[in-house]
Structure 1
Amino acid sequence: MQQSTPQDSQKSTITPNYQKIGIIGAMQEEITPLLSLFPTHTAQAMGGNVYYEIPYKNATLYVAYSKIGKVHSAMTATTMIAHFGCEAIIFGGVAGALNKDLKIGDILIATKLCQHDVDISAFGHPLGFIPEGKLFIESSKILNGIASLVAQEYGAQSAGTKEGILLKEGVIASGDEFVHNAEKKQWLIDTFGADAVEMEGASVAVVCDSFGVPFCVFRSISDSADGSADVSFDEFLDSSAKICAEFVKKMLDKILG
């Protein structure tokens, strides 16, 4: 894991011209602060979910919370791309830290993601690997570069603190399990080199990679993914979600001009 630097932002020298952008969170709590920043929106129900359509600047935003887990998040990403025609996906929310250098309130942007609960090792494949697929899915360097710029230029205002936003880059592991013990935490570090763990990002990455759609997954650190994870997660969910909402808004302003 490394901290984003001014040089990292040079990854993005061209601002993409997206007309439709999808924004996903896993839980209602993760998109409510974002919707409050865009009071003009319409809702459309589809596939047991609700998609909020927001006209913003020269583009249309589609916002939804997928519900928890890899299946629901994959369904939501697929709907945004295949039905609504989204040309880029931004997934924001909260995650548990695995790397000891990540502190609550930091933002970790995924350089690559994996599914930690996929196991067909009985057939000689590494953990997390699916035949005809990839063990790790890499995110968009352009979108990650824009996120780095946002952290540098708007960090203090976005976070509402003197310290500003501390953006770091690293590996995110996803699985259908809320990690709550130190043993599983260490296993994720040893097996995948993961810096944070959550339950949706890698499945969104697989969908976007399959459709050739650029994506960015970033997480505000809300808990330490150890034995006290269930306590700190509840305590810091709201504040972390607000940080993510402000961060997404700043990213959109950078993308759309």
Structure 2
Amino acid sequence: MERGCLGVVAAMPQEIAPLLRHVKVYKRERAAGFALYRFAVQGAPVLLIESGMGPAHAKAATETLISVAKPAVILNFGFAGGVLPGTEVGELVLAERVLWLEQGRLTQAPQPDHELAAILREACAGAQLTLKPGTFITTAAIMNKTQVAQSLEAGVPHPVLEMETAAVLRVAGEAGIPVLAVRGVSDAAHEELGFSIEEFCDRELRISPARILRCIAGKPWIIPQLVRLSGNSKKAGENLARCVEVALKALGSR
């Protein structure tokens, strides 16, 4: 790979903030309504775009990233929920296969780049970070994990639910840009969320403090779950930040 821009797509500030703390020096910009962060990792230029949640936002953000920077590679990262037992909070899962879950049907999405995945596996092993090879399932909303698990064929390795990767892959694939995707588990398979993401967000799937307060007022029993999820997300975020930093160093040195 020629030394050039490394593109990064992540959905939420909570996913991005731990990485920026590691990076320390960065420049914030805006393009087409999206927040952009420019920084360098061992001399390699990086452009990170905050997409917002959901496939539609991921699609638009990836298109903007490609328009602005024409990256040589795109790394997608963020939180995910475990679907089957055996994937624990804070663990890192590397996408080897990606599926769309739309209207109750699972379909094959474009696939991540296997050469880049091998590079990340080797780099993480050297940094004593454990990556589980897995299957990402992209949805447009928080889904019942038990129902998703029942729809999977036998033997699917470490499936996790997320909301952006398939859309990133589709747009990048059309532009001929290879994609690498990694997720940190923020909620394990046994924990079903007692709320939907729509209850916390506006129509554009942006987190709304006012809507959160209304939801808590109507469902006070979710407070312990929210506290637990906050701690889980912090753990997943720190592990992700380390992994993404390792990935960018490995990709930038090629």
What TM-score results when the alignment is normalised by the length of structure 2? Answer: 0.79
Question: Could you tell me how far apart the structure 1 residues matched to 2:154 and 2:24 are?
Answer: 44
Q: Which amino acid aligns with 2:100?
A: Q
Q: Which amino acid aligns with 2:91?
A: D
Question: Could you tell me how far apart the structure 2 residues matched to 1:235 and 1:32 are?
Answer: 15
Q: Are 1:254 and 2:250 matched, yes or no?
A: yes
Q: Which residue of 1 aligns with 2:7?
A: 22
- Structure 1: gaps spanning 5 or more residues: 1-15, 120-126, 130-134, 156-164
CA contact (8 A) 1:92 1:219 kept: yes
Q: Which residue of 2 aligns with 1:196?
A: 160
CA contact (8 A) 1:139 1:216 kept: yes
- Structure 2: gaps spanning 5 or more residues: 195-224
- Matched residue count: 220
Q: Which residue of 1 aligns with 2:39?
A: 54
Structure 1 runs of 4+ off > 6 angstroms?
none
Distance 1:65 1:226, change over 3 A: farther
Equivalent positions of 1:161-176 (< 5 A) are 165-176=129-140
CA contact (8 A) 1:116 1:128 kept: yes
Following superposition, the deviation at residue 208 of structure 1 comes to: 1.3
Instruction: Give the alignment's Cα RMSD to 1 decimal.
Output: 2.2
Question: Could you tell me how far apart the structure 2 residues matched to 1:67 and 1:192 are?
Answer: 32
Following superposition, the deviation at residue 151 of structure 1 comes to: 2.2
CA contact (8 A) 1:108 1:167 kept: yes
Q: Which residue of 2 aligns with 1:3?
A: none
> Which residue among 146, 161, 171 is the counterpart of 2:119?
146
Q: Are 1:212 and 2:185 matched, yes or no?
A: no
Equivalent positions of 1:178-193 (< 5 A) are 178-179=142-143, 181-190=144-153, 193=156
Question: Could you tell me how far apart the structure 2 residues matched to 1:81 and 1:182 are?
Answer: 33
Identity %: 20
